[in-house]
Amino acid sequence: MIKAKDFFTKEQQDKIVAAVKEAESNTSGEIRVFIEDNCSGDVLDRAAFIFKELEIHKTKERNGVLFYLAISHRKFAILGDVGINIKVKKDFWDEIKHEMIRHFKAQDFTTGLSKGIIMAGNALKTHFPHQLDDVNELPDEIVFGK
């Protein structure tokens, strides 16, 4: 069984990180990607735990987003912080999720994740436009769990 850290090639990881950088160039929102092998419980509970562990909730405008993937269990979640969720419609993340699923079903995980990240950045710029004095509050690199 392939491990999360080996699931994406170096080139694919670079493409995902480039998508994070591009998305963040459109918004003051912050995007993190966390990939691990397993998630035996509820995916949203696990994503919420990781969200806190990565301190995504500590952004100035509470506008952080986590893209969480559990490779072996084929689960994923998109979790936005309270600053986003009080400003957007209830189904805000659904279009992004469906686009990602379409690519995941075709086994194109890099494109699915990258497109989801870009879509999130574009959607967030309405409520959190990029500012000239914007500071990158969170690292852009992918975090791999166990």
Structure tokens at 86: 């009080």
pLDDT category at 131 given cuts 50, 70, 90 is confident
pLDDT in tens, 8-26: 999 999 999 999 999 999 8
- Which residue from 104, 40, 61 is spatially nearest to 49, judged by alpha carbons? 40
pLDDT in tens, 68-101: 999 999 999 999 999 999 998 888 899 999 999 9
Q: What are phi and psi of 119, to 5 degrees?
A: -60, -40
